[in-house]
Amino acid sequence: MTTGLTGPAHAVRPSFRALLAELARAQKSGAGVPAYTRWVNRRLARGVAAAAAARGVGPNAVTLASAALSVAGLVALVVAPVSAVTGIVAAALLAAGYVFDSADGQVARLTRRSGPAGEWLDHVVDAVRTPLVHVGVAVAVFVHGAGDGGRPEVAGPIGGPGLMGVALAYAVLSGGQFMSQILAEQLSARHGRAVSEPSGALKSLTLLPTDPGVLCWTFALWGAPAVFGVAYTALFAANLLHTAVSMRRKHRRLSGAAPSTASIPTT
C-alpha cells in the first residue's frame, strides 16, 4: 500500500517547508497571466497546497473547499446588510476561494493524485463559479433594494436595474470567455497549434482588469455602493473588450488549423 507522495503508508510525510520548496521549483510559466494571479494568488496557493499535502488532504477536498468559500462570500452579499464589513468579508472569502482554486492542481502534483476525474471536477466547479459570482451580484442588488421601487441601496450612478443588467451581462460574458479559453486550449493542442504568450511584467499588468483576484477584491467597495457600481461596471467594460479581442484572435488561429479526422461529439 502506498500513499502516492510518501511511498509506504508508514512513511513520514514531507514537511511543509520541503513541499513548499518543491512547488517553488516547479511553477508554471507566467506568460499571459494577469499580475494578481501571477505574483499574489499563485504564491498564496503554494502555501495552501503545501499545507494540504503535508496533512494528507487531497486535491478534490481542496477543490470543494474552494467552492464552499466562494459560495459563502456570495451568500454574505445577499443575506448581510450592505456595509463595509460585509464587503470586506465577502471579498476575503471570494479571494480565499480563488487561492484554493489555484492550489488544488498543485496538491494533485505533490501527492501524485492528478488525473482526469480531478481535472474534470476542477473545471466543473470553475464553470459554475465563474458566472455565479455575477448572478450573485444581481440577486444581492435585487434583495437590497433594486426590486423594491428601484431604491439604490446597492446601486451606483447607473441605478439598481442598470447594475442588475450589468451583472447578468457579466455572467453571460464570463461564462462564454471561460468556455472559449478551455476549448481553444483543447483544440489548439489537438491540432498542434501551440500558443506562445508574452511573459513580460507589462503584459501581466495590462491584464489586471481581467484578473479574477481583482474582481474578488472589488467587493471590498460594497459598502460604498456608488463607488462599487462604477468599479464593477468598469471591469465589465474592460472584460468585454478583452473578450472580443481574445475570441477574434482564437478564431483566427484555429481557422488556420488543419481539419481533424476525429469524430465530433454531439449532445
Which CATH number belongs to the domain containing residue 191 in this structure?
1.20.120.1760
Q: Report the mean per-residue pLDDT for the chain.
A: 86
Span 51-93, pLDDT tens digits: 999 999 999 999 999 999 999 999 999 999 999 999 999 999 9
In a domain, 23, yes or no: no
Does the residue 10 lie in any domain? Answer: no
Confidence category of residue 3, pLDDT binned at 50, 70, 90: very low
Per the domain annotation, does 103 fall within a domain? Answer: yes
User: What is the structure's pLDDT at 125?
Assistant: 97
**Residue 188 maps to a domain:** yes
Q: What average pLDDT does the segment 256-264 reach?
A: 55
Please check whether residue 82 lies inside any domain of the structure: yes
> Domain limits at 170?
28-255
- Residue 8: strand pairing partners: 2
Q: Tell me the three state secondary structure of residue 15.
A: coil
How many domains are contained in the chain? Answer: 1
Q: Report the percent of the chain where pLDDT is more than 90.
A: 64
Question: Is residue 8 included in any domain, yes or no?
Answer: no
Domain membership of residue 126 (yes or no) is: yes
Pick from 82-86, 102-106, 154-158, 246-250: least confident: 154-158
